[in-house]
Amino acid sequence: MAAGTVRTQMPDVTPWKDTTLRRSEEAARQARQAVNAWLAHSHASVRFDMLQVVSELVSNAIKHVPAGPQRDWLRVRLGVGADFVRLEVIDPGTSQPQPCFAPLRLSSLEVSGRGLGIVAALSVRCGTHLVDHGHRVVWADLADTRRALPAVREPAGRALSP
């Protein structure tokens, strides 16, 4: 397994929404706004959890990935699976550090190092891997068992849900 990969099985999704944000202190809020609008018609619990997850992942991309020329961006994508919705946050990548999905320890009083544990707790599966140009994808699948997302159409026009 390539360094920097936390590979759990990734079921297929249909790409649905995609935005690229400028790296800034505003990025987490902008990402929440985008996701909130995309999921406006979804069940409130899916939207609520997804807002938490996107906050954690975008904050991490700002906090842990060095800035630099041609690195002032991050990308947020949503995809729709059979009974889940996938969030992906893509950043310009770095060799160190690498995302660490440590389980939350309820007894711990530590006030940092919790974000990805929260993501893991809210999702049915999550992971990270590197793609072309060393860019990093950190992703999480959230259950959408109520199939509450609006109909998503494949490029060919076939309605996937509900």
Ligand X SMILES: Nc1ncnc2c1ncn2[C@@H]1O[C@H](COP(=O)(O)OP(=O)(O)OP(=O)(O)O)[C@@H](O)[C@H]1O
Is residue 131 at the binding interface for ligand X, with CB under 6 A as the rule? Answer: no
Taking the complex as a whole, how short is the minimal distance between the CB of residue 91 and ligand X, in angstroms? Answer: 5
The site map against ligand X for 75-104 (x = CB under 6 A) is: ----------------x--x--xxxx----
C-beta closer to ligand X: residue 22 or 63:
63
Angle value at C-alpha 37, between 88 and 89, nearest 5 degrees: 15
Closest CA to 54 of 21, 93, 103: 21
Task: For the chain, count helices (H), then strands (E).
Answer: 3, 5
* Residue pointed to by tokens 């009083």: 109
Is residue 42 at the binding interface for ligand X, with CB under 6 A as the rule? Answer: no
C-beta closer to Mg ion: residue 119 or 149:
119
Please name the helix (run of DSSP H) or strand (run of DSSP E) that holds residue 46, with its range, or none: helix 44-64
Strand partners, 141: 86, 125
Is residue 127 at the binding interface for ligand X, with CB under 6 A as the rule? Answer: no
- Interacting residue ranges for Mg ion, rule: CB under 5 A: 60, 115
C-beta closer to ligand X: residue 9 or 96:
96
Count of residues that interact with ligand X, criterion CB under 6 A? 20
